[in-house]
Amino acid sequence: MSGTHFFDDAERERKRWQTGTLISNIAFAAAGAFAVTAIIMAATEPSSGSPTAMVPLVGPGNVGLALGGKF
């Protein structure tokens, strides 16, 4: 109701809000599609024995673990 705000300002903000909403909806849909694809790929991947291996490393002056796997 203030005289310092005009309809053009409100219209500009509404259009910016609509653009942002559209972009976020597209991003959520893409993220969902990627998640479904990843789940399907993980569920249908053929099992090839042990997918990961942990190996101790021992040397002069050092000790460690190495973790290897197929990704």
| Beta carbons of 65 and 57 less than 8 angstroms apart | yes
What is the model's pLDDT at position 48?
64
What is the model's pLDDT at position 54?
81
The pTM assigned to this predicted structure is 0.52
Q: Which residues of the chain have pLDDT under 50?
A: none
What is the model's pLDDT at position 50?
62
In angstroms, rounded to a whole number, what is the distance separating the alpha carbons of residues 67 and 54?
A: 5
Q: Where are the domains of the chain?
A: 7-69
What is the model's pLDDT at position 17?
92
| Beta carbons of 51 and 68 less than 8 angstroms apart | no
What is the model's pLDDT at position 5?
72
Q: Chain-centre distance of CA 26, in angstroms?
A: 14
